[in-house]
């Protein structure tokens, strides 16, 4: 099963589904022939895409929208907030190449504030699957929900067998007493590597795949904070407004604090290049994540083994 098959199956079983795109057809190339008038390509018009989706939703449709994550969440932001948000309409936003996945495109294409923006809209839900398998597990529930939703589309092959998806629940991959890594999206595969490398150093390391950033699994965050040890948030997002901010909000709301190391993008866009080079340069390979955590604990990261090679992106944009 791939993304296109799931959306086709869902749309054929549910007349309410309308598939829309602002000329981003990478993952939905075969749908026009299958869906006929229920496939609408508005051209390179992100704002009109959102407005028209709101109109369709007013008439009872459930539009699933596709565009590059950056243009979708930034260019059309006010349309999402005003038409979909204030309207509380079940519009489902599929953002392509979020975070590091836009590799060589440059800052114009880097959606690294999308989580912050989307979760700031009342009623909006926000999801970031770790890989294709994780994404296919969560999309049926997201599309069936009456809420507007934003999904960081991620079609990278799974390197981990995921648990079934439950709305609002994080996936607890492992529990640990020294360190717990919290992450979402495509960096999950690197944190899996980092966890292995840290365990080789004799550390007890937990790992949580958040899956859903809004609603957030407060219970999971509170549990690891109360357990003690170092919490590490790992995200391909600006440090402002993403998982580190969410954790801080949850902890403070419960009058708690914790030792937290945020690994995120600080006040600058990332250096473009092929994906493996980007992760290497920015310090987000499994090796670098393990090294940075070790150094944060005041020890040398020199003994951390190199991780496996990073699989390059299969898509240009």
Partner 1 sequence: MTPEKQQKLEALALRVREHIVRLSTDGGCFTGASLSCADLLVYLYADCLNVRPDNLTDPTRDYLFLSKGHDVPALYGTFVELGFLDKARLDQHLSTDDHIYWHPNRNVPGVEFHSGSLGHLPSVALGVAMDCRMRGQTNKVIVITGDGELNEGTVWESLLVASAHKVNNLTLVVDRNHFQANVATEDLIPLEPLAPKFEAFGCEVRRIDGHDFAQMEEAFAALPFSETKPSVIICDTVRGRGLPSIEARADRWFCNFSSEEVTELLKELHSQEATTLTSETLTVR
DSSP 3-state of 196 = helix
Compute how many residues bind partner 1; rule: CB under 8 A: 34
Distance CA 280, CA 23 (A): 32
Which of 160, 281, 295, 301 lies at the binding interface for partner 1 (CB under 8 A)? 281
Examine residue 278 and tell whether it contacts partner 1 (CB under 8 A). yes
C-alpha–C-alpha distance, residues 89 and 86, integer Å = 8
- State how far the Cα of 204 lies from the Cα of 285, in Å rounded to an integer: 20
Measure the CA–CA gap between 67 and 11, rounded to whole angstroms: 18
Residue from 5, 78, 108, 259 binding partner 1 (CB under 8 A):
108
Among 43, 122, 140, 228, binds partner 1 (CB under 8 A): 43
CB of 68 or CB of 136, closer to partner 1: 68
Would you count residue 190 as binding partner 1 (CB under 8 A)? no
Residue 254 is a binding residue for partner 1 (CB under 8 A) = no
Binding mask 59-98 for partner 1 (x = CB under 8 A): ---------x-xx---x-----------------------
Q: Is 312 in the site for partner 1 (CB under 8 A)?
A: yes
Within its chain, how far is the Cα of 105 from the centroid? Answer: 18
Q: Minimum distance from CB of 307 to partner 1 (Å)?
A: 18
Between vectors from CA 214 to CA 245 and to CA 75, what angle results, nearest 5°? 80
The SS3 call for residue 262 is: strand
Q: Rounded to whole angstroms, what are the CA distances from 75 to 2, 128, 211, 237, 242?
A: 28, 20, 25, 18, 19
Binding residues vs partner 1 (CB under 8 A): 23-26, 29, 41-45, 47-48, 68, 70-71, 75, 104-109, 271-274, 277-278, 280-281, 312, 315-317
């Amino acid at each position: 099963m791939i993304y296109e098959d799931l959306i086709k199956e869902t749309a054929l079983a549910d007349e309410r589904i309308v598939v829309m795109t602002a000329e981003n057809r990478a993952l939905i190339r075969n749908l026009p022939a299958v869906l006929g008038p229920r496939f609408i390509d508005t051209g390179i018009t992100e704002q009109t895409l959102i407005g028209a989706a709101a109109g369709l939703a007013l008439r009872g449709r459930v539009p699933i929208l596709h565009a590059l994550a950056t243009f979708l969440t930034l260019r059309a932001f006010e349309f999402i907030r005003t038409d979909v948000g204030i309207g509380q309409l079940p519009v489902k936003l599929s953002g392509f190449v979020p975070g590091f996945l836009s590799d060589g495109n440059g800052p114009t294409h880097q959606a690294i504030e999308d989580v912050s923006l989307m979760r700031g809209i009342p009623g909006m839900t926000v999801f970031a699957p770790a890989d294709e398998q994780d994404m296919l597990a969560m999309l049926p529930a997201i599309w069936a929900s009456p809420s507007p939703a934003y999904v960081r589309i991620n079609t990278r092959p799974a390197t981990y067998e995921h648990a079934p998806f439950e709305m609002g629940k994080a996936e607890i991959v492992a529990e640990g007493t020294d360190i717990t890594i919290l992450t979402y999206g495509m960096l999950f595969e690197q944190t899996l590597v980092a966890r292995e490398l840290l365990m080789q150093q004799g550390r007890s390391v937990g790992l949580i795949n958040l899956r859903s950033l809004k609603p957030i699994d407060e219970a999971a965050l509170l549990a690891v904070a109360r357990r003690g040890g170092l919490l590490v948030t790992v995200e391909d997002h600006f440090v402002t407004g993403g998982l580190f901010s969410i954790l801080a909000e949850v902890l403070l709301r419960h009058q708690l604090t914790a030792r937290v190391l945020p690994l995120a993008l600080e006040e600058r866009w990332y250096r473009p290049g092929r994906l493996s080079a980007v992760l290497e340069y920015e310090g987000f390979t499994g090796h670098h994540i393990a090294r940075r955590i070790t150094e944060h604990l005041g020890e040398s990261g020199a003994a951390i083994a190199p991780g496996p090679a990073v699989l390059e992106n299969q898509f240009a944009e």
